Amino acid sequence: MGKKIMVTLYRDEVAPRFDLCSEVLLVTVDATGHEVRRQDLVLAHSSADDLCDLVLDREVSTVITGGIEEEHYHYLRWKRVEVIDGVAGLAGEALALYLRGELEPGAILFPRLGHD
């Protein structure tokens, strides 16, 4: 069985808030880190509690998201789910960085304008 990674979505970006997320990307990778399945799931409504339930029901091992309330963060960590929070940028880029072992909490993946 592969490892499951969930990215909270707002359009094609990592959702800025876990509790307001209404769509997720669920990716399953094999032992070598190659993607074997990709699903876009649209949620009936935004709810951090329901999203936590979905994480556990789908046996997700890692969640990539923007802001998340401390209560939900600690709940998922208690359930042994890795949470990489504070991420801002395109969901595909965040996922690729994660699969390379380079994504860190608080990562800002948007290009910085006016800085050389």
Q: Would 107 be classed as within a structural domain?
A: no
- Cβ burial of 10 (10 Å; 0-12, 13-18, 19+) is middle
The Cα–Cα gap between 13 and 63 comes to 14
pLDDT recorded at residue 2: 83
Is 114 a domain residue? no
Is position 62 within any domain? yes
What's residue 5's pLDDT? 98
Question: Has residue 71 been placed in a domain?
Answer: yes
Q: Is residue 43 part of a domain?
A: yes
pLDDT average, residue stretch 98-104: 96
Domain of 72, CATH number, reads: 3.30.420.130
Residue 64 belongs to domain spanning: 3-99
Query: Has residue 23 been placed in a domain?
Result: yes
Determine, yes or no, domain membership for 59.
yes
Per the CB < 8 A criterion, the answer to whether 35 and 98 are in contact is no
At residue 114, the pLDDT reads 66
The answer to whether position 109 is within a domain reads no
- DSSP E strands in 11-114: the ranges are 13-14, 23-29, 35-42, 62-64, 82-84
By residue count, the chain amounts to 116
Work out how many domains the chain is built from and give that number. Answer: 1
Model confidence at 102: pLDDT above 60? yes
pLDDT tens per residue across span 21-80: 999 999 999 988 889 999 999 999 999 999 999 999 999 999 999 999 999 999 999 999
pLDDT at 66: 97
Asked if pLDDT for residue 111 goes beyond 90, the answer is no
Strand partners, 84: 64
| pLDDT, average across residues 73-90 | 98
Task: Name the DSSP class of 105.
Answer: T
The answer to whether residue 112 scores a pLDDT higher than 80 is no
E strands present in 1-116 = 3-10, 13-14, 23-29, 35-42, 62-64, 82-84
